A and B are shown apart, each in its own frame.
Chain A
Amino acid sequence: MSSVTQTSLQAPRGTRRLTDGLVRGLVYLSAVIAIVPLVWILVSIASKGLPVILNVDWWTKDLAGTTDRRAGGGALHAIIGTLEIGIITAAIAVPIAILGAIFLIEYARGTKIARGVSFMVDILSGIPSIVAALFVFAFLITILGMGRSAIAAAISLMLLMLPTVLRSTEEMLKLVPDSLREASYALGIPKWKTITTIVIPTAFSGIATGVVLGLARVMGETAPLLILVAYARNLYLSPTSNAMGTLPTMINTGRDVAETLVGYDRVWGAALTLILLVMGLNLLARWIAHASRLKDR
């Protein structure tokens, strides 16, 4: 063993120091490269979209009676459409996803059926949105002869939302310790009541967060909306109508408008509105997680 001397404790010099500086620089650079596009996108959308959305009309009027050349109107039709399709999607996907997760974790854990279903859910979560859209188109419209509608779009979005919510719910149910289930059984509480009154409330915070994040994810999807429902410039509320405006399709229809026209500005407004909507949902998810977390009151 060498003895400790003043020199043996000195900071590294030479090549070692050079390598350290080089790697450190590389790491910082990578971080900057990753963040720059994100900030760039946010800044450019905000700067071009903000003047458009800071207008009462934007939130209260649709585009009826306007054109890409004629100013006025707003995005109400698209905001309502996106929210409505989102709500229908969630209304179908959430019950199936939660009941499916309960089946997989509480009833079929470790069985062949569970492994089979799990595998299918994995495959489903990897399906591109356009494939889900074409499947619904082929099934509902070509085979069953139904028309395009907001509901058809919601069904295909449901296919995309289902696996994410099911997976997140599954993970949350797995986190509930078996000792709680046993404690409940030992009180003579039947299994289904144990699930509804002990397991779900214990996992509620995580399940709700997963639902909202799943919704935020499908709200920006575009392909199913393009294929399964026509874009309308007017506000339509009926989910069975074949046309409904949504923010992603509003952005899409305006993408080839000349830069000098007012229709071009509306695209930036719609993009910013969509980002705010999704961001709002993410914040809502964080708030739910915070407000409903189990605490030692």
Chain B
Amino acid sequence: MAKRIEVENLDAYYGSFKAVAGVSLVVEPRTVTAFIGPSGCGKSTVLRTLNRMHEVIPGAYATGKVELDGVDLYGAGVDPVAVRRLVGMVFQRPNPFPSMSIYDNVSSGLKLNGERNKKTLDEAVESSLISSNLWNEVKDRLKKAGTSLSGGQQQRLCIARAIAVKPDVILMDEPCSALDPISTLAIEDLIGELKEQYTVVIVTHNMQQASRVSDRTAFFNLEAQGLPGRLVEIDDTETIFSNPNKKATEDYITGRFG
């Protein structure tokens, strides 16, 4: 559970376009690390390289090292499918499987990876929904469609689905940007609880959110349109928001650009 991520000299491409260059950073276990920066700076791209989801897009690839507790995820013979079982992901828009019930959505990762035991599945569904603070709202209607829930509930369902396979790391790509303030609060509380067991990396456009939920913050920027995005600095969230090392970070935080 909860592993350390070490990124070393990572470049990410979309075809011939270099989207991210020279990113090196460390994510400590049982912490929440926030990626912030203006649109197009590559923060989501970096996030997606952490579980090899980046390469799902045709033509996209990455070079460099991403180590999970010392094992290079881009090493020879590494199966991206196996990587994704260790590093789960929650997306910007809630995306429950429309053909499945709430129960089936949460258990889908386990079931499709071969788990048949009904009792194991029942327990995993219950504990995942409890962890995602959704159990009390849905326990009487587990057979209903996942898409019958509200947007905020759907996002918590997706979080339950991601933690049901017991990953070591959970990546969140702007998980609250499609939600109302109350649902956002529920997810933020949940992120605070998740870090007791998991390593969490979250991309957010909302700087208040980054300062509320994260222990460490990484600021990404790009010098100009068409140039690759770069990591400007990563530090404790408090330092980044009160006394950053780089001028660009301060300008962004104080709203001078971006």
Contact = CB atoms under 8 A, between A and B. Distances in A.
A binds B: yes
A185 interface: yes
A117 interface: no
A180 B95 contact: yes
A202 to B, nearest CB: 5
Given A182-B91, A189-B113, A296 B97 contact: no
B51 A186 contact: yes
A183 interface: yes
A297 B144 contact: yes
A297 B98 CA distance: 11
Contacts of B97: 180, 183-184, 198, 202
A-side interface mostly: helix
A188 interface: yes
B145 A297 contact: yes
B16 interface: no
A25 interface: no
B53 A186 contact: yes
Contacts of A190: 81
A290 interface: no
B95 A185 contact: no
Contact count band on A: 20 to 34
B91 A179 contact: yes
Interface in B80-115: 81-86, 88-89, 91, 93, 95-101, 108-109, 112-113
B77 to A, nearest CB: 16
A69 interface: no
A109 B59 CA distance: 12
A276 interface: no
Interface residues of B, number: 34
A183 B96 CA distance: 8
A188 B82 contact: yes
B165 interface: yes
Contact of A188 (B58, B84, B98, B145): B84
A294 B51 contact: no
B147 interface: yes
B47 to A, nearest CB: 11
A189 B145 contact: no
Given A186-B88, A187-B165, A189-B112, 13 more contacts: A179-B95, A181-B56, A183-B97, A184-B108, A185-B84, A186-B91, A187-B112, A188-B82, A188-B84, A188-B109, A202-B98, A294-B147, A297-B144
A-B pairs with lowest CB-CB distance, top 3: A188-B85, A187-B109, A186-B89
Interface of B: 51, 53, 56, 58, 81-86, 88-89, 91, 93, 95-101, 108-109, 112-113, 143-145, 147-148, 158, 161-162, 165
